[in-house]
Structure 1
Amino acid sequence: MSNHNKINYIEFQVSNIAKTKAFFEQVFGWSFTDYGEEYCAINDAGIDAGFYISDNQMRAESGSALIVLYSEDLATTQTRIEQAGGEISKPIFSFPGGRRFHFLDVNGNEFAVWSE
């Protein structure tokens, strides 16, 4: 299959690379490749991506795309997020096709997690 005209990479703005890496490693088991002090590539996340330094935050309410992660166990993932310093911004709710919740990472960026 050709990669031509396909989404190939996503970059996320964060205020603190070290705290961000620690959070996503603890919660989701991701690893990282550093490219200087202001950028790192994300490994093991299901899509190629990276974190870069910025003072901005990603929130769906302000027009950012909502990144939705998958979990086989929503309750466990929610607990891990809270233990790692994240904040649940929308508790678990049902939607056509499953259930999900939204959270803010240690930078205040909004993500969601869903399951069947």
Structure 2
Amino acid sequence: MPTHNHIDLIEFPAADPATLAAARAFYEDAFGWSFTDYGEYYDTADSGVVAGINGIADERQQRMPLTVIYVADLDAARAAVAASGGTIVHEIYGFPGGRRFHFADPAGNELAVWSEAAS
């Protein structure tokens, strides 16, 4: 069960299909991680924290590993990020299993925040 305001996921970018397959194979081989397929996105809980390989090849594709924070209320978190000086990089969007947004902190680091889909 995710914990409110804790880092919940780290994603590694790999938009090119060959790179995605190679990255997945690397982590499977090097560390024994197994992955769950969510379309173009894969994740593993075998790494100690959930780690994912993001294969989405659009404007949301980050270029560096992405830290993802779980929150109970995504809209409140978005408001708090903006009010605290964060820059919203990608507005709230849905994905299988939930919704999230991306932001840059004042040092320019990109992170994301997610929550389950509203019922």
Q: What TM-score do you get using the length of structure 1 for normalisation?
A: 0.47
Q: What TM-score do you get using the length of structure 2 for normalisation?
A: 0.45
